[in-house]
Amino acid sequence: MIIYFSATGNSFWVARELSMRLSLPYFSIQEAKKIATYEMKADETCILVMPIHAWGPALPMLRFIEDLEMDFFAGHPLYAVCTCGDDCGWAHRVLRKALHQKGAELRATFSIQMPNTYILLPGFNVDTPSIERAKLEAAPTRVRRITEMIRKGGNDMHTLYHPGTFASLKTNFLYSLFRRHISGKTSFQATDACNSCGLCVRICPTRNIRMKPKNLPTWGKACVQCLACIHRCPRRAIECGHITQKKGRYVNPYIYKSRT
């Protein structure tokens, strides 16, 4: 079974590719009922797929793990696959620890560079079209190599996981900061371009958006900063103060292919 979280489609695309190559079903973390009732075969491989946020696993996936029943993955080979714009820091260690506390041992974590989605700080933006194209072209080869490693039951992640420079510092310091102080707060607002379609409400992983007052979206205090609302708004009608006004938007171009 593959369980994924994805804000803008990169991790969803990876989950779907792995599903096709390994003949495993895939479920979003939001499909809690399907996950709870799915009967895993003995020895069925389990893979968690998620984006990297601030050099750690995206918070919705971490919370999903924290809420799991003890020994949920017991007896199953367990892997994690992270998508990132550049590098992952020590996200693998955060995942390993969280899963260990649930009685599960992570065999290996792999990473795949995909187009970047972080746009909230000065100096950060989506990739240029040529970099975005290059990453999307390189991704299938990386998925193939990861698939081969998982098929072999391998745990050699050295060549297929990219921690980047100052990895421990980034995760220990910046991810901790992100978890404790940055997530939760937002200054997102809808602009005049909003037509109240409600897509942002439906896709928010923490149900943090309400259509009120005046049938316009407003954000509560449970934001995990995945940026699904900003990037996926069909009218580009969501901004975070002034900082995102001149930034690009990104949605994985392959995610609208029907579920297989």
Ligand X SMILES: Cc1cc2nc3c(=O)[nH]c(=O)nc-3n(C[C@H](O)[C@H](O)[C@H](O)COP(=O)(O)O)c2cc1C
Question: Does residue 114 belong to the site contacting ligand X (CB under 6 A)?
Answer: yes
Question: Does residue 44 belong to the site contacting ligand X (CB under 6 A)?
Answer: no
Single out the residue of 73, 90, 118, 161 in contact with ligand X (rule: CB under 6 A).
118
Question: Does residue 27 belong to the site contacting ligand X (CB under 6 A)?
Answer: no
Question: Does residue 17 belong to the site contacting ligand X (CB under 6 A)?
Answer: no
| Site map (CB under 6 A) of ligand X, residues 50-69, x = contact | -xxxxx--------------
Single out the residue of 19, 28, 45, 117 in contact with ligand X (rule: CB under 6 A).
117
Counting every residue written for the chain, the total comes to: 260
Nearest approach, Cβ of residue 172 and ligand X (Å)? 13
Nearest approach, Cβ of residue 152 and ligand X (Å)? 25
Q: How many residues bind ligand X (CB under 6 A)?
A: 25
Nearest approach, Cβ of residue 23 and ligand X (Å)? 22
Residue 13 contacts residue 250 (beta carbons within 8 Å): no
Question: Does residue 9 belong to the site contacting ligand X (CB under 6 A)?
Answer: yes
Question: Does residue 227 belong to the site contacting ligand X (CB under 6 A)?
Answer: yes
Single out the residue of 8, 19, 28, 244 in contact with ligand X (rule: CB under 6 A).
8
Single out the residue of 60, 65, 72, 85 in contact with ligand X (rule: CB under 6 A).
85
Single out the residue of 87, 143, 149, 232 in contact with ligand X (rule: CB under 6 A).
87
Alpha-carbon radius of gyration of the chain:
18
The structure tokens 């072999």 sit at 152
| Contacting residues toward ligand X, per CB under 6 A | 6-11, 51-55, 83-87, 114-118, 225-227, 252
